[in-house]
Chains A and B, each alone.
Chain A
Amino acid sequence: MDDSKFWPKGTTRCKPVHFGLWMLFCLALAGWALVSAFLCLYKGLNQTNMNDYFAFGVWIVVDLAIIALGAGAFFTGFMNYVLRREELKNIINAAVIIGFICYSGAIMMLGIDIGQPIRGWFGFWHANVHSMLTEVMFCITTYLIVLIVEFVPLILENRQINKVPDLHFFAHNLHTIMIVFAATGTFLSFFHQGSLGGMYGVLYARPFAARGGVLIWPWTFFLFILSAIAAGPSFTTSIVMITEIVTGKKLTTHKVKMLMAKVSGSLLLFYLVLKIADTLYWAFVQTPAMGLSPSVYYQAPYGTWLLIAELGIGGVLPCILLLSPQVRESYWILLLAMLLNCFGVTMNRFVMTIQSLAVPVLPFEKFYAYLPTWQEWGISAGVIAYGFIIFSLAYRYLPVFPQETKLNPTTD
């Protein structure tokens, strides 16, 4: 079974049997997810460990994390098309694919997470415009459409599909006006990344999550955007680097990676300054005003190590690394710094979801901990498997990396 004629021009891919094995592994993960999804849909959400205190569980954490990490798509697109940083052209395709994976994966997970998926469209039909979640639902679905529109031309550039004239021209024309979609995507992403943060900031009756703000947007609105665009490029670049390690090929010049790292690092710095200011204000001014002390927030097992992990290991450390030129020159330490950056934003999403629900508000309530069931892990793993499958297929059959042929001169 030789699929070489589908490979992008001038590139070599691993033998189909290796690719088949890899696909089998991913499909096994996806199978586990399907079983979990069936159980949750058929028997109901009692299959999870969520309850009336933990209305949100690991699914929402993963949703928020992959949408934050998927921000690489819109921000790279924004820099490439709107800010005319042309060298990002070599990584924009990967960014778009990762963005598409994250958003479509998140929406599928939300489909299972809500109690009545069949009534999901009520959020659009009977919209409550004052709710941050409505804004999230509107923007995420619209931005997914934008991502699909950005992903389609890449698919149509597969060597065989490109032969069909209609599709060839359609892909080309879409590409010429891509700036329109990139700009709309940026506008939409700005709002829903913010609204995901706003979702927690507006909970004025939940002291841990509540924040002051400007007009209708709590500070978490802006903090979530900043942390997303700080982590997005890192996530995209680290995925590309991991693909390079796995396939043994150089996919983009190191210059592109250094640029992404530099952007990521500076945004991370900007975010950390604001985040630490917000945390200090929240811990020493806002919380006492509500009659609570930070020690109430940090109880076993969600102790202060979470703060250190989020802002220290996941924040300050990668920021320093990404901003120092020697690190950006290196390969492995750069990869490590970017992964730490992603780890930081994931911890932030975890803390804002799980810990804010664990903290009791009524003085006579108890502090509860939460541990997902295998079904919940199954569906989270399913999204990751879905990502592997889509990215592997895209890498194998679509011309994702323009510089690949030049960087890996084939012998014949």
Chain B
Amino acid sequence: MNWDRRAFVKFAVGAVVGLNASPLVPKLMDDVAIWTQNWSWVPDPETGAVAFAKSINPATQTGVKARLVKARLSGQRVIRVEGDPEHPLSQGGVLAADAAAPQQSYYQAMRVDAPMVRKEGVRGRVAAEEAVQKVAAKLKALAQAGKASQVAIIADDPFSVTGEMLMRLAAAYGTPNLVFMPSAKQTLALAGGLMFGQGDIGFDLANATYTVSFGTPLLEGFGAPVAVRKAFAAWRKDPMHRATLVQVEPRSSVTASQADLWLACKPGTEGVLAYAMANLMIQAGKVDSAAANAAGFEQFKALLAGEYSLEKASQASGVPADKIKAVAEGFMKAPKAVAVCGPGNSGDPGRLFDFMAVLALNAVKGNLGKPGGLVLRQGVAWKALGGPLDLPGAPRLDGGGKRIMGSYSAYDLAAAALKGQPYPLEALIVVGCNPAFAGPQAKVMRQLIDNTPFVACVSEFMDETAELADVVLPKASFLECWGDCATPYGAAQSFYGVHQPLVSALPQTKSAGDWLLAVAKLLGGKAAEALPFAEAKEALAARAEGLGGLEDLAAKGYWMQEKPAYGFSFKTPSGRLELAPSALGKPAAPAAGVAPSKERPLLMAGIPSLRTGAGGAPMSPYQVKILDEITLAHKDQLVVEINPQTAHAMHLGEGDMVEIASAAGKINARLHLYHGAAPGMVFVPVGLGHTAFGMYLKNKGANFFEAVEVAADPGSGLPQWALTPVSIAKAGGVSHV
């Protein structure tokens, strides 16, 4: 049989037809298409029983409910952090930071997953015992050498159980240098103390019908943001007749836009407007009895009539007189009106003068202790962890002792320690915060860390501070450990939230309290006695006894004062309202404000936003994703806002790459012309510009705090960085139209 070409063609045709007669082709086509639906690099999350558990997110003070899936093979995991509808403050709402919390705690590259010790400059993972042993040995050596006071501890929240344990450890160990990040709570306590003798004050926003907010981002980061928004929702329940909100600040922010009236004042003049309104009310004879016979009322009245008349205030603040008058009248007539003061737009603790002016306005209105006004909080009835300990005698590095009522400043501590007065620093311990990035002391703190022989850091994330530290102890996230957080700023009722471990923490991570106890045990002596607990949960249980025991507190997730305590009592030296506080001898008066100079013609301020995250905690990938192009532009450039006229005058256009320089430092950014920005100012988002945290966050934008200039507030002594004079210049780079 001759096997020639024609035969082969016949065989080949037969083969092809035969193959197509079999289901091979349709089967392969179908299966290949199904293969594209089941690629191995697309995850297939395992299903399981759904369960819920209550918790609280200390960073945002929102009462949350975690949705858990108990999977058969891969165990329990958190898939959602949702709002807790039964929570009186949050009533089911969450913030972007809460909803993105699961990512934050699960994403490995961001977390510190094992204790690390730096040996000869190289940081390596070590066992927990070795790390704690290293810290304890160093502290013991310092104590024996009598240099106990040359140890500084920086933490974030003085009211949490960790905060209290740190106070006891510092006192027992013998160092006065325990510093917490400055917050508006301290300024409010100071102002309240001076005028009422009461520090624990809240604003009953839910019941107010007329609210005037002076220079604070009421809807963008004031107090427990979700609680405030629930009050805001109550005001706007019926679109036809709504409670009035007046915002007083230089920039058309979110709060200013949602407010019914916005007083666009010159930067730093909010307090002046409060006094002017008070003055109008006094002129109109509408003065509450408590204010009328307050200590120094005549002196106060004379000062207001003289310095803060309508024309003077309007001239100083740039707000038209009729607008000030209208708001003053509205404030006078409204049955339940309240004036609100709080943290500044740059996250600063606020100026004492502004706070006292606002409290004075409330006093003149007479809404102290009334529904919809200023209320005293009962204070959380938790039990102290142990007997009182005597404070060490040595002077504090940040000069805290001299100032009234012991205010804290990490900036002053770092500056003083660098100069070596009164003494150099031997060891620095950072617990649960990121001072090398977040806060005005960022630059100074980095220098301090370099010059301090020993730096230990208890941190959840491998953040900027942890990367510079010698010893890093991995802190568990709020979903993985026991912990608590106290009353948010400005809340009308005192509150105490507890979070419990919902997910098995990374093997080596522990809560900050556990690490402190481990160090205290090794230190022994007074330190061990000051913290007689086996684990942090025990300390929490001790604290929770005053609130009905930890078990049902954890189940409920919080303790809260039922309703605001109306009625007001004064504990001032004179026993009555002191408009001219005895400690000052005269009514509060503003010091010289921050003024732009010739070579630094603009004033820089921060843009408060719930999207760019709170404080040092890193933004989770989802939060970075919802930043729009007027915050983080293409190729990760920070976007700053400027008024079109100001930009035009300086020959700058939309999208220009600029360099913003102040005395303290400079940042690069892209310019965005925004009509709502006050002339003569530049507004910079806060919370971007991390140099750590892996691919989702690293090198995105620039850090506002690099260019911030810090000055102590004359009144409260707290660091003040609301406004910084800066120069702005084109920084090359093509402008992307």
Contacts and interface: CB of A to CB of B under 8 A. Distances in A.
Interface of A: 116, 118-119, 121-122
Contacts of B35: 118
Nearest to B35: A118
A379 B32 CA distance: 25
Interface of B: 29, 32-33, 35-36
B736 to A, nearest CB: 12
Contacts of B36: 116, 118-119
**A-B pairs, 3 with minimum CB distance:** A119-B33, A118-B36, A118-B32
A393 B35 CA distance: 39
A122 B35 CA distance: 14
Contacts, number: 10
A116 B35 CA distance: 11
Contacts of A121: 29, 33
B366 to A, nearest CB: 45
> Majority SS of interface residues in chain A?
helix
A117 to B, nearest CB: 9
A119 B33 CA distance: 5
Nearest to B737: A300
A147 to B, nearest CB: 22
A119 B35 CA distance: 10
A118 B29 CA distance: 8
A64 B704 CA distance: 50
Contacts of B32: 118
Nearest to A164: B6
10 contacts: A116-B36, A118-B32, A118-B33, A118-B35, A118-B36, A119-B33, A119-B36, A121-B29, A121-B33, A122-B33
Contacts of A116: 36
A304 B29 CA distance: 47
A303 B35 CA distance: 46
A322 B704 CA distance: 67
A281 to B, nearest CB: 34
A44 to B, nearest CB: 12
B733 to A, nearest CB: 20
Contacts of A118: 32-33, 35-36
Contacts of B33: 118-119, 121-122
Contacts of B29: 121
A166 to B, nearest CB: 9
A6 B350 CA distance: 91
Nearest to B9: A166
A121 B25 CA distance: 13
Given A118-B32, A121-B29, A121-B33, 7 more contacts: A116-B36, A118-B33, A118-B35, A118-B36, A119-B33, A119-B36, A122-B33
Nearest to A117: B36
B168 to A, nearest CB: 55
Nearest to B36: A118
A127 to B, nearest CB: 15
A14 B29 CA distance: 44
Nearest to B33: A119
A19 B293 CA distance: 108
Contacts of A119: 33, 36
A279 B29 CA distance: 45
A122 B29 CA distance: 11
A118 B33 CA distance: 6
A47 B343 CA distance: 46
B674 to A, nearest CB: 15
A137 B33 CA distance: 18
Contacts of A122: 33
A116 B34 CA distance: 11
B57 to A, nearest CB: 32
A126 B35 CA distance: 18
A119 B36 CA distance: 8
A2 B36 CA distance: 48
A119 B32 CA distance: 8
A121 to B, nearest CB: 7
A198 B624 CA distance: 41
A294 to B, nearest CB: 23
A116 B36 CA distance: 8
B704 to A, nearest CB: 27
A148 B35 CA distance: 31
A115 to B, nearest CB: 10
B31 to A, nearest CB: 10
B170 to A, nearest CB: 53
B25 to A, nearest CB: 11
A263 B130 CA distance: 91
